[in-house]
Amino acid sequence: MSKLLLIDDETDVQYSFQRIFDSPEIELTTASSGEEGLKLIPKVKPDLVLMDIRMGGISGMETLRRIRQIDSKLLVILMTAYGTTQTAIEAMKLGAYDYLLKPFDVVKLKDIVNNALKAAHDMRQVVSYQPLLESEDYESGIVGRSEAMQQVFKMIGQVAGTDATALITGESGTGKELVARAIYHHSHRSNQPFLAVNCAAIPEQLLESELFGHERGAFTGATLQRVGKFEQCNGGTLFLDEIGDMTPATQTKILRVLQSGTFERVGGNTPLKVDVRIIAATNKPLEEAVAAREFREDLFYRLNVVRIHIPPLRERREDVRLLVNYFLKKFARDQESEPKSISTGVVKTLEAYHWPGNVRELENVVRRALVVAKGDAILLSDLPGEIAGQSGSNTSAPTSNAPVAAGDAGATDVVSLTRKLFQWARKDPKLKLIPAVERELVLQALKETAGNQVQAAKLLGITRATLRKRIEKFGIQRELNLK
Ligand SMILES: Nc1ncnc2c1ncn2[C@@H]1O[C@H](COP(=O)(O)OP(=O)(O)OP(=O)(O)O)[C@@H](O)[C@H]1O
Ligand SMILES: [Mg+2]
């Protein structure tokens, strides 16, 4: 639910707001003066303030100035019936999120409010991340005892105290974002915002406006002015994920912010100054993009001041065991249950796997195994077939008729067979596994026994009558006659 605070001395406006924002998702509080509004802010803790500029008592501008002192991050939208560019500029300079002219169009008003609430939400997410980091578990938040991870930890410690730009590289799922957040957490900016932008997930045309914001009318569809991530993040840390996926124009703008701390909103020409620390990440070789002239070389050097490379999990297999234990504990705590145990055999299988999806994949496998596991231990049969069925390149691969689960009590040939069947079923969501398997068993038994129903029934361990029913049910007679 979002909280709106309306500060306006006109009762008409208060009534119409109550009508417009009568929704279970919004809690609207009203104040009739700047003084009353200022008193309400610490109590209500609004996500967004909408305020008239001309009111009896202290003016909207003055109230805005004081709001800024109480809470520099609270978003404020100013409204007035007497719009002059001067007040608009003044309002924006004082850090208003937006500026609205009365009388307002309801649709537009709702749009602006939703837009602002989204921005407020983004900023709040940042704040709410901190308690999690400060919890006792933070120390173990990044798990790894391998030499490679020790190196990563040292680098985090070294860069955290500086404002240097850091470039984090590594395959997908290796923990790049986790490392970025750790740098932030240990930096002197840890009480300022941390925002993440995934450059690959945002369409090219929108990325620039996401980062730098845009002015009203900057392009078709830009009906509202928008504050970009750089502005929202002033004083804080901006995590640019998948940095390789930026257009040359955006690259140029980023370079400029890095060099001079200034930029303009899209469609605007007032240079804005920000103080933002950038941490970038990529899972693609940026050097190659530079060589292919897809990525600006000067920007690359600017970002690459400190390079932290996180090696893939298969190159630090000794971390697998630790990670598994960590995830088991973490999920148990989330579920408020006792952690399940895991046999050495299963851990060995996990260590041998090549983990193309790295730690994220391991985390998902553990999560899934916990769902599938029946008892209080995770068995080989609780792992996906592609992991349980192969033991990596450095161990001898099991033959199909030997038990796969060497060292794992209880696992038999049937288990590995079942796993193969599950693999089959997973590939075909429409498949009904049991009837499909049953049909195949009946069919093959009849083929093996050259259509001798007595022998086939014996082979299958069912009565001849049951066999006949199955033959009928699955339409097998026809199939055998055809062949
Ligand atoms: N060393 C680690 N210790 C504990 N958890 C980890 C570790 N590395 C990664 N994880 C977990 O694995 C998941 C993936 O990590 P993260 O999102 O940081 O990876 P990424 O490198 O940014 O991946 P992508 O390139 O796909 O965006 C997260 O849930 C993260 O908490
Ligand atoms: Mg990531």
> pLDDT tens digit string along 226-254?
889 999 999 999 999 999 888 888 999 99
Of 126, 24, 31, 26, the C-alpha closest to 73 is 126
The pLDDT of residue 357: 94
Between 37 and 405, the higher pLDDT residue: 37
Q: Is 312 in the pocket of ligand 1 (CB under 6 A)?
A: no
In which residue are the tokens 């370079």 written? 255
Q: Which atom of ligand 1 is nearest to the CA of 283?
A: 25
Between the CA of 175 and the centroid of ligand 2 the distance, in Å, is 7
Tokens representing 111 are: 């749009």
**Which atom of ligand 1 has the smallest separation from the CA of 181?**
18
The C-alpha atoms of residue 316 and residue 57 are separated, in whole angstroms, by 66
**What would the pLDDT profile of 427-452 be if each residue is shown by its tens digit?**
888 888 998 899 999 998 988 888 88
CA distance 254 to 197: 13
Question: Alpha-carbon dihedral of residues 410, 412, 414, 416, nearest 10 degrees?
Answer: 100
Taking 90 as the threshold, does the pLDDT of residue 33 lie above it? yes
Our answer on whether the CB atom of 143 is closer than 6 Å to any ligand 1 atom is yes
| DSSP, residue by residue, 203-269 | -HHHHHHHHHEE-TTSSTT--S-EE-HHHHTTTSEEEEESGGG--HHHHHHHHHHHHHSEE--BT--
Give me the helices (H) in 337-391, please: 344-352, 358-372, 385-388
**Whether residue 170 has its Cβ less than 6 Å from ligand 1:** yes
Q: How confident is the model at residue 341 (pLDDT cuts 50, 70, 90)?
A: confident
**What percent of the chain has pLDDT above 90?**
40
Dist CA 253 CA 248 (whole Å): 9
> What pLDDT was estimated at residue 411?
44
Q: Residue 284: its pLDDT value, please?
A: 86
Binding site membership of 245 for ligand 1 (Cβ less than 6 Å): no
**Residue 175 CB–ligand 1 contact under 6 Å:** yes
In the chain, % helix, strand, coil (3-state, to 5) comes to 50, 15, 35
Percent of the chain with pLDDT over 70: 88
- Nearest CA to 361 out of 314, 329, 398 is that of 314
Q: What's the mean pLDDT when you consider all of the chain? A: 83
Residue nearest to atom 25 of ligand 1 (CA): 172
pTM of the entire structure? 0.58
At residue 285's C-alpha, the angle toward residues 193 and 197, to 5°, is 20
Would you place residue 164 in the very low, low, confident or very high pLDDT band (cuts 50, 70, 90)?
Answer: very high
User: For the segment 357-410, what is each residue's pLDDT rounded down to a tens digit?
Assistant: 999 999 999 999 988 887 778 888 889 988 987 544 333 333 333 333 333 434
Buried-exposed string 40-74: b where 16+ CB fall within 10 A, e elsewhere: bbeebebbbbbbbbebeeeebbebbeebeeeeebb
Task: Provide the pLDDT for residue 410.
Answer: 41
Tens digit of each residue's pLDDT (9 = 90 or more) over 57-110 = 898 889 999 998 888 778 899 887 765 555 666 676 677 787 777 778 888 889
Q: Which numbered atom of ligand 1 lies nearest the CA of 179? A: 18
Residue 39: pLDDT band with limits 50, 70, 90 = very high
Q: Which ligand is nearest to the CA of 172?
A: 1
The response to whether residue 457 sits with its C-beta less than 6 Å from ligand 1 reads no
* Each residue's pLDDT tens digit, 282-318: 998 899 889 999 999 999 999 999 999 999 999 999 9
| Residue 115 beta carbon below 6 angstroms from any ligand 1 atom | no
